[in-house]
Amino acid sequence: MHKEILVIDDNPDIRVLVSNILKEQNYIVRTAANYDQAINEIKQKLPDLAIIDIKLDKVDKDGIDLLKLVIKTNKLVPVIMISGHATVQIAVEAIRLGAYEFIEKPFSKEKILNYVNRALESSQLKKEKDLIENKLFHSFELIGKSPSIVKVKKIIDKLATSESRVLISGPTGTGKELVARKIHKNSLRSKEPFIIINAALLKEKTYEKELFGEEYDDGNISFGALERANKGTLLIDEVSEIPYETQANVLRVLIDQKFKRLNGSRDINVNIRLISSTSKNLKDLVEMNKFREDLYHRLNVMPIELSSLSSRTEDIPLLIDYFKQKLSEINGVQQPKIDITNDSLYTYNWPGNVRELRNLVERITILSEDENKNDINKLIEDILTPKTTIENNRILLEKSFASPLKEARKNFEREYLLNQLKKNHGNISKTADFIGMERSALHRKLKELGIKGIN
């Protein structure tokens, strides 16, 4: 596909000269003769590269302002600035703001082509790097054989031909964004944009600007997430954090499929699929009048619930093997020898869920090169034990000292059997064999202690 270059210069001779040079090399060329034309061309469609003259027809606006607009819209679009009477200070400022290169007039055919080719090559390399990183970090598979994960996978498959809105709920780190990406990837919108807006990270006064965009007095436009996601999918992460007043405007967009930018006068029509995620219970927030009930029902057409990692420990070995392979590839090192029978992996509570496990595997991958299995086991225990086990043991010990012997023994047996069941993924037979009890006796003991099945 031929690259498209936008040439912006108020000198017709320069525009024709540069255009002819580029067309000879089979580039597609668009031109703009003044500031307003340039704004229209940039807003209509971003080129693969822009060549911009510093001095244009406006006194208060120049090529530097256009450079800022291009960089703000897409920092991967290279910009070459040209001028016949610019100072060193202006040239330095242009480079500082993100221009790829600054060329003084007059320039030779060879010089302009050299800079254009190098700028496009550099841009392509950056795009490929971003693409690779995106695939590595955002295209992880949904790994697991536990009933809860199998159920989620089936729902994702059923949603492939659906346009239904989806509400994904679950504790932090369970993979809500990953599920949203899988839904988009499997959908008929897969070739269209997938845009994420994290409501928990926004300042209170910026929600509407981030969602709807804004029009400025100078003619510039800030495009919001709704507009950037047009024809594709928009994920509103931590949707519970959107201010109550703004929720009404989101609801209106879902009903009308159109909105106005801030300070704008015309309707912007959009066709998006909305996926929302939350780590809070939206039903509780509705009852507390902190979340609109009508918006909740609009969002919750297809609910998906993700379980904590501690409730599906049978997935831990599969996740470790998967992350070992992925993260070793990313970091360019050998896969570490992680002992998946290490008790710490199954007795730890995993407050950060799958994300925390992935971080653990990455730390081990980086730190454990050339270390043996015992060293890695020690590393795992050093990372996990201080956070929970020591504190839990202290609390259990204090509780035991303050209890009669019979109750203290019962507390110990309960904790011990819970840990063994987690280690054996809830398998009663394996647990009974390991602790040296008959299966029927273990069943009776679990019933006596009030321990129900471990999922």
- Asked if pLDDT for residue 390 goes beyond 50, the answer is no
- Asked if pLDDT for residue 325 goes beyond 50, the answer is yes
- Asked if pLDDT for residue 146 goes beyond 70, the answer is yes
| Span of 64-68, 145-149, 188-192, 403-407 with lowest mean pLDDT | 403-407
Contact 277/177 with Cβ under 8 angstroms?
A: yes
Same-domain check for residues 367 and 443: no
Nearest to 55 by CA among 14, 95, 19: 14
Whether 335 is covered by a domain: the verdict is yes
Give, in order, the Cα–Cα distances in Å from 96 to each of 88, 90, 100, 167.
Answer: 12, 10, 9, 43
Same-domain check for residues 65 and 115: yes
Same-domain check for residues 76 and 181: no
Whether 134 is covered by a domain: the verdict is no
What CATH number does the domain containing 58 carry? 3.40.50.2300
Whether 364 is covered by a domain: the verdict is yes
pTM score, whole prediction: 0.60
d(CA 82, CA 453): 72
Compute the C-alpha angle 77/30/72, nearest 5°. Answer: 30
Whether 150 is covered by a domain: the verdict is yes
Same-domain check for residues 115 and 218: no
What pLDDT is attached to residue 124?
A: 86
Same-domain check for residues 403 and 440: yes
Whether 98 is covered by a domain: the verdict is yes
Whether 315 is covered by a domain: the verdict is yes
Whether 455 is covered by a domain: the verdict is no
What pLDDT is attached to residue 137?
A: 47
What pLDDT is attached to residue 397?
A: 52
d(CA 101, CA 112): 10
Same-domain check for residues 340 and 298: no
Same-domain check for residues 303 and 184: yes
Same-domain check for residues 225 and 122: no
In tens, the pLDDT along 80-135 reads 999 887 677 888 888 888 899 999 888 899 999 999 999 999 888 887 766 655 55
Last residue in a domain, options 96, 129, 162: 129
Q: What total of structural domains would you count in the chain?
A: 4
Average pLDDT over residues 34-59: 91
Contact 380/344 with Cβ under 8 angstroms?
A: yes
| Span of 153-162, 216-225, 270-279 with lowest mean pLDDT | 216-225
d(CA 409, CA 267): 70
What CATH number does the domain containing 366 carry? 1.10.8.60
Same-domain check for residues 16 and 33: yes
- Of 195 and 385, the one with more pLDDT: 195
Indicate the helix (H) or strand (E) that contains 7: strand 4-8
Average pLDDT over residues 202-230: 86
Q: Report CA Rg, the chain.
A: 29
Same-domain check for residues 340 and 364: yes
Q: What is the domain extent for residue 394?
A: 389-449
Last residue in a domain, options 99, 129, 159: 129
Last residue in a domain, options 335, 354, 387: 387
In tens, the pLDDT along 298-307 reads 999 999 999 9
Same-domain check for residues 93 and 207: no
